[in-house]
Amino acid sequence: MSEPKNVLVDIWLLASVADALVSAGLTDSPLSVDEFALFGLVHDLNQVTVTRLAGWTGLPVTTVSAIVR
């Protein structure tokens, strides 16, 4: 019987491919992928705290704060 598939590898692969696609789409933009994503969330949510953004994205609060600043 074969070993079960490691879903974490699939998640990593999907994240890597998504990051590359977003990066390619932002080649003419001054924004990084993280900046693009965070500003998109802020736009969609209208009002959101840095702490909440950090919780949703998994980024450290200090990183989110620096990007938003």
Pairwise CA distance, residues 42 & 48, whole Å: 6
Tell me the pLDDT tens digit for each residue of 39-55: 998 899 888 899 999 99
Q: Is residue 1 part of a domain?
A: no
Q: Collect all residues with Cβ–Cβ distance below 8 Å to 53 and sequence separation of at least 6.
A: 38, 41, 42, 59, 64, 68
Between the alpha carbon of residue 68 and those of residues 25, 34, 45, 57, the distances in Å are 21, 10, 14, 13
Tell me the pLDDT tens digit for each residue of 5-40: 889 999 999 999 999 999 999 999 998 888 898 899
Give the tokens for residue 3.
Answer: 């070993």
Domain count, the chain: 1
Structural domain of 60: 7-68
- The pTM is what? 0.66
Q: Is residue 33 part of a domain?
A: yes
Q: Is residue 2 part of a domain?
A: no
